[in-house]
Structure 1
Amino acid sequence: MTLSRRAALAAPALLLPALLRPSRAGAQGAYPSRPVRVVVPFTPAGTTDVAARIVSERLQSRLGQPFTVENRAGAGGNSGSDLVAKGEADGYLLLMQTVSSGAINYTLYGDRMPYRPDDLTEVGLVIRVPNVIFVTNSLPVRTLRELVAYAKANPGKLNIGSSGVGTSLHVTGELLKMEAGIQMSHVPFRGAGPMMAEVMSGRVEVAVDNLPSAIGHIRDGRLRALAVTTASRTPALPDCPTTAEEGYPGVEATGWFGFQAPGRTPRPIVEKLGAEIDAIVKEPATKARLADLGGMMPGLTPDGGTSPAAFTAFVRTEIAKWGDVVRRSGATVE
């Protein structure tokens, strides 16, 4: 038998595995064909968790597979984010990213940061939210100006809580101390839930949180809101003044929450998920749920929505912005 004849006879056997194996395009076209994990890098009950569950519920309904939320808190959001950054890039592992672990921490942690921006790829921004400065009801202050006066009269006696080192809440507190010239001891927690429990008990006097996770307690009177950190008041809490109205325009901060995936996730999957998230955030019912929590539309595209490319450009801008804030405020990992 000549070599060419042997090759011809062997060809069908060599081709059979390839014919039986699904093509990459076919596999992507069928996505998702099994459950998808959504990692939240903070504890339950915070804004990150709430937003992730709202959108995951809709993704599950629209795509026909479970999108299961899994809380992996630690290191200011870095632990859960690193899990995804180093995870399987097949579309079945997603991250609900935040301004802290998605922008602030790159400067705050420096060489200790376990992942870099290129280790993750942006899928879609879900909401942007104000931060809110609030106090325990037993503290005898009702405005931000009164809090500053109280802190100056009682230097070093107040604690200010956040949901973790490196969060926008931590940095907002540092900005307030810097702009107002006051001393308060930062107390980081492993999420918004434990932090708010301590403020409501009076063991921590002051705190900063994203409005969506704090607004229920504020509306019920369990916490006293002093100011939101956006340029204008939020319709979700219309009687609460801004930090600028209270005399501190430099204390401006907006939290954001969006989906990322491991950096090498196939582009067709990223684009498909991005289109689904864009559609979800524009749904009237979803918009109403997020707005009631104090959330604002992504606003990255001309129609107010989101896309993977627009979210990537936004994240790069945020990394630069918050890097400058960290350096100016002198915030450190405690």
Structure 2
Amino acid sequence: MVRPKARPARLARAPRSRTRETFSMPTRRQALALPFAAGLVPAAARAQAAPAWRPDRPIRLIVPFAPGGSNDIVGRIIADAASQKFGQPIVVENRAGAGSMIGAEAVARAAPDGYTLLINSSHSAVPAIVARMPYDTVKDFVGVAVAGFSPHVLVVNPQVPAKSVAELVALLKANPGRYNLATAGIGSSVHLGGELFRTGTQAQVEVVHYRGGGPSVAALAQGEAQLGTPTMASSLGQVRGGGLRALAVLAEQRSPALPDVPSAPEAGLPNLIHEEFFPILAPARTPAPVLAALGTGFRAAIQQSAPKLIELAGVAPRPGFETSDEVMALVRDGVERYGSVMRAAGVQPE
């Protein structure tokens, strides 16, 4: 008789608890990721705890023109407010010459540590007129902020017997080469405006280059030169005081700073729209935290200074340009726009 196999005794089950926990072994990918994630936690905590960059010594703001020009006026207005934001002096340093290229090159070659900056409304205009430059207008710089925008103004010395653009053009054509047109230097936005006026009206004038907007406006007021297209910031005081006669604001609309002066279309110059902008730039390779801190501080200073910029310089800040890339996009667009305008006018870089 074959006996059935004995069954193994059953183990007694533990009584079930009312709460049940589940646990699963990590996958191989999860197991490998655990040490890496653990290493990131202290780094992230350190990054969050790290204070924002702040300068511990004065910052130089290079103005590549002589004192008294638009960049000098705008730069000094903003420097006062920015000094309060950073707790360090912002020292405006005028390094004029070569249509802003001397000062701009100095900034391009400076240490990218946040302590040397540039303000230059002619930055995008220079490549349209100068063929060989000692720096790259775009690649050698990074954007900090944009101080504002302002149109140029067509002005004449009060002794010039012309009360309108039409009268001025007729006078110049009747006296070819007799009158001087003042610029703020080769490659400056003032030079560009003068070339646009010459090519647009076919007026024959002698172009005389000065070492900045201030000296060029002084020459106009003294009668050394008879006409020009200075920036509103550099010429506003002379126009209001009667030292210069404004024939047109080179913008689509009249300016609140000079409400009695006709716009370019009203004056018979519909294609002569010439507006400058004031980028504040740092050397390329400036560290991102430094650049971010500079941008935040200067944008706040510009906003605080807006009433003074409009009243004293005819420069109006605009919203936007919150990042370095947005500032440099404006610079690149300016380079392309000025270049295409000058090529269309038949002016080639020299």
TM-score over 0.5 for the pair = yes
Structure 2: state its 5+ residue gaps.
1-45
Q: Write the distance in 2 (CA, Å) between the matches of 1:165 and 1:224.
A: 24
Which sections of structure 1, spanning at least 5 residues, go unmatched?
1-22
Cα pair distance change 1:25/1:40, threshold 3 Å: farther
1:163-183 deviation per Cα after TM superposition (whole angstroms, max 9, x unaligned): 111111111111111111211
Q: Using the alignment, how far apart are the partners of 1:41 and 1:54 within structure 2?
A: 16
Whether the 8 Å contact between 1:175 and 1:250 is mirrored in structure 2 is no
Structure 1 contact 134–225 (Cα < 8 Å) conserved = yes
CA distance 1:273–1:150, change in 2 (3 Å): same
Aligned to 2:167: 146
Summarize the Cα distance change of 1:160–1:75 in structure 2 as closer, same or farther, 3 Å threshold. Answer: same
Contact 2:246/2:261, CA 8 A, preserved across alignment:
yes
Contact 1:134 1:206 in 2 (8 A): yes
Give per-residue Cα distances to partners, 1:128-171, cap 9 Å, x unaligned.
11100101111111111110111111112111101111111111
1:143-292 superposed matches below 5 A: 143-283=164-304, 286-292=305-311
Could you say what secondary structure the match of 1:118 adopts? coil
Would you say 1:80 and 2:100 are equivalent positions?
A: no
Any idea what the Cα deviations from partners look like across 1:175-233, whole Å, max 9, x if unmatched?
11111121111111001222122211212111111101111111011111111111100
Helix, strand or coil: the match of 2:124? helix
Identity %: 36
Q: 1:333 to 1:106 in 2, by over 3 A?
A: closer
Residue of structure 1 in register with 2:314 after alignment: 294
The alignment covers a number of residue pairs equal to 303
In the TM superposition, what is the alpha-carbon distance from 1:29 to its structure 2 partner? 3.1
CA 259–250 in structure 1, closer or farther in 2 if over 3 Å, else same: same
Q: TM-score normalised to the size of structure 2?
A: 0.82
The letter of the residue matching 1:51 is: V
Scaled by the length of structure 1, what TM-score is found? 0.86
Counterpart amino acid of 1:207? Answer: G
Mapped contact 1:278–1:307 kept (Cα < 8 A):
no
Q: After TM superposition, which residue ranges in structure 1, 4 or more long, deviate above 4 angstroms?
A: 23-28
1:160–1:90 distance in 2 versus 1, CA, 3 Å: same
Q: Is the 8 A contact 1:218 1:225 kept in 2?
A: yes
Equivalent residues in 2 for 1:32-181 (5 A)? 32-98=55-121, 100=122, 102-110=123-131, 112-116=132-136, 117-181=138-202
Structure 1 residues 257, 235: CA separation in 2 closer, same or farther (over 3 Å shift)? Answer: same
Larger radius of gyration: 2
| Inter-CA distance 48–26: structure 2 relative to 1 (3 Å threshold) | farther
The code of the aligned residue for 1:194 comes to P
Q: What per-residue deviation string (whole Å, max 9, x for no partner) do you get for residues 235-268 of structure 1?
A: 0000001121111111111011121000011111
CA distance in 1 between counterparts of 2:249 and 2:230 reads 10
Range 260-269 or range 199-208, more displaced: 199-208
